[in-house]
Structure 1
Amino acid sequence: MKRTIYIFSNGELKRKQNTIYFERERGDKKYVPVENTGEIMIFGEITINKKLFDFLSQQEIILHFFNYYGYYSGSFYPRLVFSLPIRD
């Protein structure tokens, strides 16, 4: 079963080779285990780039964004999440 990761701090979510890490404004890094992560909930102010979105799409990891007050803002769904087999 895949885990849900929660990010409440401000910083940058980055890709480094075949892994993801979150770098806080203070400079400390937290690595995210890609193999068993299904979705990431983001509550803080973060910076993300296109390379990370491409990697998340390959790994079928969903991003959910929330505003300052904790209300849902939107999501990034990889294209493969919605591919369903069609029966004849």
Structure 2
Amino acid sequence: MEHAAGVYKHVIFPDGIGDESSPLTEIQKAMLDVTPDCIKLLSPDGRLLNMNRAGCIALGISEGTCFGMPWLPPVTGSRAR
């Protein structure tokens, strides 16, 4: 699971961005914001890193708020398989 998360992060954030200290690039954010679907980017430990505009509207939150908050419990042990 951790290996898959690392590969995914490398594909989505080839320049090493995407952790809590680095925001999405403008082009990455624009690509996520064109869909009407709610898209959330989560860290491997379940924290919300980013959410697209449609997700923020659907959940009634301001864009850019709540990032870094726990969103899902970490998947560990037998649940990770």
Structure with more of its chain in helix, by fraction: 2
Compare the two structures and name the one with the higher strand fraction. 1
Task: Flag the structure with larger Rg.
Answer: 1
TM-score for both structures, normalised by structure 1: 0.31
TM-score calculated relative to the size of structure 2: 0.33
